[in-house]
Amino acid sequence: MPTFMNDPTMPTPGFPGSHMVVDDHYVFISGLTVDDLSNGHAARGDVKEETRLVMRALAHA
């Protein structure tokens, strides 16, 4: 059975959904951007760095 999760430290999704959906084998993420994680400060880099920042935040969720 999937588990729907929202991190209370991140902005509420602007869509009807969750930050993460976790089941026995997969984790689906949706709607997270570097802007959401940077508290209003631009933290942009190349796609590799932005992906690293998103994944680091998810590891703490």
pLDDT of residue 40: 59
| Residue of 14, 3, 2, 5 lying closest to 33 (CA atoms) | 14
| Residue ranges with strand state E in 1-61 | 3-5, 20-22, 27-29
pTM beyond 0.85, yes or no: no
The tens-digit pLDDT sequence of the chain (61 residues) is: 888 888 787 777 777 778 788 898 888 877 666 665 555 565 667 788 778 877 777 777 6
